[in-house]
């Protein structure tokens, strides 16, 4: 150990906090490498907590954004996989959904607040010398409510016209940028395939989907217009829709609407008991929930690592402080002899334990913040730093030192002064 600092124990109960901290720093500085290694468990634990929470909160924020992009309380109904003999075909090879199904859902499932049939495809769109290949969707008015589409340009009342057969089109922002740049396209005519359409609106930006696609690279036309003008060689039966999208009245209604959709379509499609459905109902929030569950399990794993590291670090602090008490028995006796009481001795050793833990916590916070930012930049993980968590981590580091330093400090305080002075260390 380094030489003892000048004693400040003039009389029991008169030691200032500043003096206790000074002596704690003096004692730890004499074995700075040992103190640093002792704090390693706390460093790892605090860093793991910050990285875990930052990535977890960032992922949750991304999931919330994904849900909002997918649409409010949305359920999709699609044709089931086709079969030709023993060979399964793609879903696009089956046309099992019709506008009659859409009407049945509207009439018989009250909790289905918004319902729209959908047909879609790809097409070349042209404005003067500008052209762009995009996807089109033939939809009904309710589609825009289900998907939370709003207009940046144009009159929202135009959504109501999507129940007719007019050759009107709403552009996604990406298509508007390709064909018109910064110009206002509302009222302009463009060619969609071989048909002239009038632009009546431009949607607000939605950005990328949860699967990386550009949601704004799309145009919307009325469902009946799409069937008559854009279906081309698809040879779909009259009244067919490729997909039905349903918006439940509330999140609490999702499960019941899904169950009613299955029951209704089994009935209208005359599916016998035990028979294979020619449709499938997909609750998109289930996909997000599955991803959220994976994130939660990863967070629990990281949390377990952080917890174990803090416990190991705390045990390391306790072990080193016990060694320190043994090494400094004579020093403790001398301080008691010049007036230090058991409380002052206990406070000094507690201060040393807490300073080791707090120092490790501060280093862990720095490493945790750097690690979280690095994970966001290199690992492309969503990261959201939270100052409350950083402050909580600081509190945890202090609490670790207090909890695991208490026993060694108490042991030091209970030493007999005479026996301590006789000790030959």
Burial class (CB in 10 A: 0-12, 13-18, 19+), 231: middle
**How many domains does one find in the chain?**
2
Domain co-membership, 387 together with 260? no
* Two tokens, residue 222: 């009325």
Of 277, 300, 326, which one is at a domain's C-terminal end? 277
99 lies in some domain: yes
Domain co-membership, 261 together with 199? yes
Percentage of the chain beyond pLDDT 90 is: 25
Least confident of 87-101, 111-125, 197-211, 396-410: 87-101
387-413 vs 40-70: helix axis angle to the nearest 10? 160
pLDDT of residue 423: 67
> DSSP letters along 75-106, please?
EEEEEPPPEETTEEPPGGG----BHHHHHHHH
- CA 78 to chain CA centroid, nearest Å: 28
Average pLDDT over residues 84-105: 70
Domain holding 225, by residue range, is 95-277
Output the CA torsion sign for 349, 350, 351, 357: positive
Of 249, 277, 305, which one is at a domain's C-terminal end? 277
pLDDT in tens, 244-296: 999 888 877 888 898 999 999 999 999 888 888 889 888 766 666 666 676 67
34 lies in some domain: yes
Question: What global pTM score does this model have?
Answer: 0.59
> Which residues in 369-381 are b (16+ Cβ under 10 Å) and which e?
bebbeebbeeeeb
7 lies in some domain: no
Of 218, 252, 277, which one is at a domain's C-terminal end? 277
Domain co-membership, 143 together with 207? yes
The residue written with tokens 């400090």 in the block is 409
391 lies in some domain: yes
Domain co-membership, 29 together with 149? no
37 lies in some domain: yes
Q: Which tops the pLDDT comparison, 331 or 367?
A: 367
Domain co-membership, 308 together with 407? yes
Domain co-membership, 237 together with 317? no
Q: Which helix (H) or strand (E) holds 367?
A: helix 342-378
Domain co-membership, 164 together with 222? yes
Average pLDDT over residues 108-112: 91
């Amino acid at each position: 150990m380094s030489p003892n600092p000048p004693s400040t124990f003039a009389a029991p109960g008169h030691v200032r906090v500043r003096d206790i901290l000074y002596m704690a720093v003096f004692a730890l500085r004499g074995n700075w490498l040992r103190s640093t290694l002792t704090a390693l468990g706390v460093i790892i634990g605090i860093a793991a907590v910050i990285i875990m929470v930052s990535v977890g909160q960032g992922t949750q924020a991304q999931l919330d954004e994904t849900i909002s992009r997918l649409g409010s309380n949305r359920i999709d109904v699609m044709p089931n996989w086709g079969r030709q003999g023993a060979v399964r075909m793609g879903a696009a090879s089956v046309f099992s959904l019709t506008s009659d199904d859409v009407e049945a859902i509207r009439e018989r499932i009250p909790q289905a607040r918004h319902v729209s049939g959908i047909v879609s495809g790809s097409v070349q769109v042209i404005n003067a010398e500008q052209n762009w290949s995009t996807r089109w969707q033939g939809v009904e008015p309710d589609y825009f409510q289900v998907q939370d589409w709003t207009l940046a340009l144009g009159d929202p009342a135009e959504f109501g016209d999507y129940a007719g057969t007019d050759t009107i089109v709403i552009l996604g922002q990406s298509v508007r940028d390709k064909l018109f740049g910064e110009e206002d396209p509302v009222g302009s005519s463009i060619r969609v395939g071989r048909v002239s359409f009038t632009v009546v609106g431009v949607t607000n930006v939605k950005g990328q989907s949860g699967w990386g696609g550009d949601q704004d690279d799309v145009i919307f036309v009325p469902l009946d217009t799409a069937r008559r003008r854009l279906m081309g060689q698809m040879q779909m039966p009259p009244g067919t829709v490729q997909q039905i999208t349903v918006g439940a009245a509330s999140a609490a209604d999702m499960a019941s609407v899904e169950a009613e959709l299955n029951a209704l379509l089994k009935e209208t499609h005359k599916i016998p008991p035990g028979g294979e459905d020619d449709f499938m109902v997909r609750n998109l929030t289930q996909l997000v929930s599955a991803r959220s569950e994976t994130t939660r399990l990863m967070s629990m794993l990281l949390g377990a690592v952080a917890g174990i590291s803090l416990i190991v670090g705390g045990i390391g602090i306790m072990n080193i402080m016990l060694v320190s008490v043994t090494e400094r028995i004579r020093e403790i006796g001398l301080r008691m002899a010049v007036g230090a009481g058991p409380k002052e001795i206990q406070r000094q050793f507690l201060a040393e334990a807490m300073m080791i833990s707090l120092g490790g916590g501060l280093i862990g916070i720095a490493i945790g913040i750097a690690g979280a930012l690095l994970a966001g930049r290199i690992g492309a993980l969503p990261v959201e730093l939270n100052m409350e968590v950083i402050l909580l981590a600081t509190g945890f580091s202090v609490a670790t030192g207090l909890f695991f330093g208490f026993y060694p400090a108490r042991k030091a305080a209970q030493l007999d002064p005479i026996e301590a002075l006789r000790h030959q260390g």
